[in-house]
Structure 1
């Protein structure tokens, strides 16, 4: 879908990314430790911290791969999560009642790795599974700078549970394969063989365009092979507001995914997430920065 974001909104996100890299946000107080940035993977994630001091601008850029859940601490990300044009589409796909769950901001500077095949519901389960992801290009995305790829039609696949470690899946399906290497390179990712059964489509996008997909759909991105172009993007996840959510109940402390509101009896975290559209019989949260949405109207 083209022109989801306006030119002004794209410029605002671009300036925001530049400000983060330069360390200009008031929220940036803690300095990251030095690390070998050439070893970063496609899932390397940062908090809203400063790059180490005394680095060049190019070296600072290399310290930023992706950030999660900034809508809880920054008004711009909340506004993007609750963007009316995005919600209009999500409402058609999984609505009319929508719970806004997560945000991700990707920097992907030159040379950074992609993220291997994965299903979003593997990481973010909802019951029933109504998860919907949106991925918005902040800059033009193509084969050279690591555009998104989707295994077309793979939304019919079950969610494959992990053989070990973190992850969720359709474990009640008799004989379902338990997978290793979600989000890793093809050589170690069991989902690569599943994706190979489908038509793999590279989603080349102009800045401001968006793609929407099911939490079951297999997707990945490849490395940014350019020397002078980043591949900035914004992603968010939603579910039907009448789905039961426990995501975030097993994260603790400073983990950005940790749910601030957890029902002690059931582990439900719906109250941590914003009711974007419609109504629900379940708890829901309010927007921290007052972005207009169904939650703020229901609270009046």
Structure 2
């Protein structure tokens, strides 16, 4: 499809909007150009290659390509531009019914051998009122699949409400410092296979997870932003109270 102002600001069909509300997620193919993603990947690596690293991006030298980069949109103009791509702004406006604002961003490196994150619901970590939060997960690799640690989702699980979360049970597969949902039927998990530039939008109560990157030499870089409706507020989390508009 040729990009025009109309289909960038209203990229979803009525059927796709209905599908999101039914399944709790929708995948937009090629929402971002590969050239832009290549430039962004290089830019992010340049940030942690600086000597010294900027304070907001600082970490141990041994972890500079391992530890995820938290909230780059707060400090970096390129990350803010990636946060508010027209296709993202338009999709969120269609799904929310009005403009969205960003409250959190994360750049994941996920090198070979690194663990995934156990099943969870984003609302557990980011309470907001009214509940309007949607994540936009952009694939930054040519292929994101089961081998290098793609996302897994349980379609329709956003209708279950917020489930209890507890300590991670499989530390060989998942990182230990986050919690996981309890009581979810993980047999209903399905993988979301993505290509560079694909963007997955998903509901804050959708149960999702990722597994260990079992590839030998394939990273699984991604840029993930969390958005709430412009009239909503984050509660409890003082560090995420500031809202960044998309216009």
Under a length normalisation based on structure 1, what TM-score does the superposition of the two structures give? 0.65
Looking at structure 2, the residues matched to 274 and 60 of structure 1 have their Cα atoms a distance apart, in angstroms, of: 28
Q: Secondary structure at the match of 2:81?
A: helix
| 1:92 partner SS | helix
Cα displacement (A) at 1:64: 1.9
| Residue number in structure 1 paired with 2:148 | 145
Deviation at 1:196, TM superposition (A): 2.4
Q: Whole-Å Cα distance in 2 between the matches of residues 124 and 241 of structure 1? A: 15
Distance 1:103 1:183 in 2: 26
1:234 aligned counterpart, secondary structure: strand
Q: CA deviation at 1:60?
A: 6.0
Range with greater deviation from structure 2 (188-197 or 95-104): 188-197
C-alpha distance 215-200 of structure 1, shift in aligned 2 (>3 A): same
Query: Over the residues paired in the alignment, what is the CA RMSD in angstroms?
Result: 2.5
2:184 is aligned with 1:194 = yes
Determine whether 1:6 maps to 2:33. Answer: yes
More strand by share: 2
Q: Is the 8 A contact 2:139 2:223 kept in 1?
A: yes
Which of the pair has the greater relative contact order for Cα pairs under 8 Å at 6+ separation?
2
Q: How does 1:104-183 map to 2 (within 5 A)?
A: 104-139=106-141, 140-160=143-163, 178-181=164-167
Flag the structure with larger Rg: 1
Distance 2:199 2:86 in 1: 13
**What is the count of residue pairs matched by the alignment?**
215
On the 8 A contact 1:137/1:234 being kept in 2, the answer is yes
| Displacement over 3 Å in runs of 4+ | 182-190
Aligned residue among 16, 23, 44 for 2:43: 16
Residue number among 193, 204, 222 corresponding to 1:204 in the alignment: 193
Q: 1:243 and 1:60 mapped to 2: Cα distance? A: 35
Higher helix share: 2
Aligned partner of 2:96 among 91, 94, 97? 94
How many Å apart are 1:28 and its aligned residue? 1.2
SS in 2 for 1:143: coil
Aligned residue number for residue 245 of structure 2? 275
Deviation at 1:195, TM superposition (A): 3.6
Give the 3 Å change call, closer, same or farther, for CA 234–98 of structure 1 in structure 2. Answer: same
Tell me how far apart the structure 1 counterparts of residues 90 and 207 of structure 2 sit (CA, whole Å): 24
1:22-76 per-residue CA deviation (whole Å, 9 max, x = no partner) reads: x13x77156xxxxxxxxxxxxxxxx512553xxxxxx666x52311111111111
Measured against aligned partners, the alpha-carbon deviations of 1:247-272 in whole angstroms (never above 9, x if no partner) come to: 532xxxxxxxx25xxxxxxxxx3xx2
Q: 1:60 to 1:201 in 2, by over 3 A?
A: same
Residues 106, 232 of structure 1: 8 Å contact kept: yes
The runs of 5 or more residues in structure 2 that have no matched partner are 1-27
Listed as ranges, the matches of 1:52-67 within 5 Å are: 52=61, 63-67=65-69
* Distance apart, 1:229 and its partner CA: 1.0
Question: Which of 199, 205, 224 is matched with 2:213 structurally?
Answer: 224
Preserved contact between residue 92 and residue 99 of structure 2 (Cα < 8 Å): no
